[in-house]
């Protein structure tokens, strides 16, 4: 059985949209999330005071939510 190493940042489970248009949300494996994007998301949660976000477009152009 494959164990997913899900990504949690600031207590929020991070999902990634594989379709790019909001139709294929999946919990992202911690190994698949670049460190700079994890930092960017953490900053949005902490500094941006976004406890939840339905669609965040990171600087890498990919969509994430938490």
pLDDT digits (tens, 9 = 90+) for 39-48: 999 999 999 8
Indicate if the alpha-carbon torsion angle 45, 50, 54, 58 is positive or negative.
Answer: negative
pTM for the model? 0.85
CB 16 within 8 A of CB 28: yes
Q: Is 65's pLDDT higher than 90? A: yes
When pLDDT is averaged across residues 14-41 and rounded to a whole number, the result is: 93
Question: Higher confidence at residue 14 or residue 1?
Answer: 14
For the chain, what are the domain ranges?
8-65
């Amino acid at each position: 059985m494959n164990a997913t190493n899900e990504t949690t940042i600031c207590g929020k489970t991070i999902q990634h949209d594989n379709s790019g248009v909001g139709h294929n949300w999946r919990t992202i494996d911690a190994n698949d999330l670049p460190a700079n994007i994890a930092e960017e998301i953490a900053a949005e949660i902490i500094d941006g005071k976004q406890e939840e976000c339905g669609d965040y477009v990171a600087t890498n152009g990919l969509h994430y939510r938490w």
